[in-house]
Amino acid sequence: MEPAGVQPLESGVSGATDFPSLLRRNGLLRAPIETNVTKVRDAAILPTQATTILAFKFADGVLVAGDRRATAGNTVVYDRADKVLEIDEHSIMAIAGVPATAWEMARVLEHSFQFFRRTQLQEMSVDGKVRALSKLLRDNLGFVMQGVGVVVPIFATFDAKASPSARLYFYDAMGAQFEAADFAATGSGSPAVRGILYYENTWGKKPLHKIGEDEAVVVALRALDTASEADTATGGIDRHARIFPMMKTVSADGIKTLPEERIAELFHKRVA
């Protein structure tokens, strides 16, 4: 039985432009709630925030990493947050901002790609995937204006049939999309991260797109550890609790989650 007040999904897909539109037409995805901004601010709401994420192209594809800390104001809410999410076999979304909103966007995006694949009998193009995330961010603008739902993601994907195969995008809170040539970083610790990545890409032994996977992990660890020294919302590496950043790579072989044991080994040998 369908829940009270919810109509069953239409069996046909005629006229369905995308998955979020289908959800809205059936009353399963509501538009942003109209709320008085002044009242929201006066309520002193402190939403949970996920912070620093980064991504850059390396020899095999794209490495995406994020620290594990989530905060609310000056309080550490959680120190094992997952900010690097798999959307499909060749797409990764990293989140900075309000996790509740970002995780919901990731779920809708994942089902959007599946919906397109099953109805059109083909994969959505990279440009289509990028615009789908941009549209979700624009639809979230009402919450952004209220200060309770800001999300600033990074999107990485790999298309072996295209040139270049590795594609990397970052966004602003209103949905504007920008393709990064080499690297991207968002969140409160991103200024320090961008400085490290620029230095490594410009004056390192090799440009980032030519380094191997182990070296890419080392660069990401150094960047996040540096950011944590200047930004309290960035967890970096917790040496006492042995908490390390979440890292995934996307390449021609698909998505790989780097084991924490390997990240810890490289940290102790090359960074600490």
| Domain extent listing, the chain | 47-271
> For residues 211 and 215, what is the distance between their CA atoms, to the nearest angstrom?
6
pLDDT above 70 coverage of the chain, percent: 87
Contact 235, 50 (CB under 8 A): no
Q: pLDDT tier at 90 (50, 70, 90 boundaries)?
A: very high
Helix (H), strand (E) counts: the chain: 8, 13
Task: Exactly one of 17, 38, 48, 51 is catalytic; name it.
Answer: 51
DSSP code for 269: I
**Bond preceding residue 20 cis, omega within 30 of 0:** no
Kindly state the average pLDDT of the residues 144-152: 88
pLDDT score at 17: 63
Taking only the tens place, the pLDDT of each residue in 158-196 is: 998 888 999 999 999 999 999 999 999 999 999 999 999
pLDDT score at 34: 52
pLDDT score at 160: 87
Kindly state the average pLDDT of the residues 124-153: 92
Mean pLDDT of the chain: 89
> For residues 10 and 1, what is the distance between their CA atoms, to the nearest angstrom?
15
Burial label, 185 (beta-carbon count in 10 A; 0-12, 13-18, 19+)? buried
Helix (H, G, I), strand (E, B) or coil at 141: helix
pTM of the complete model: 0.86
What is the residue-wise DSSP string for 139-174? HTHHHHHHTS--B--EEEEE-TTSSSSEEEEEE-TT
Contact 129, 91 (CB under 8 A): yes
Of 5-9, 150-154, 213-217, the one with minimum mean pLDDT is 5-9
Sequence-separated contacts (24+) of 161-165 with Cβ below 8 Å:
162/126, 165/61, 165/252
pLDDT score at 13: 46
* Domain 47-271 annotated CATH 3.60.20.10: yes
The yes-or-no answer on residue 119 being catalytic is: no
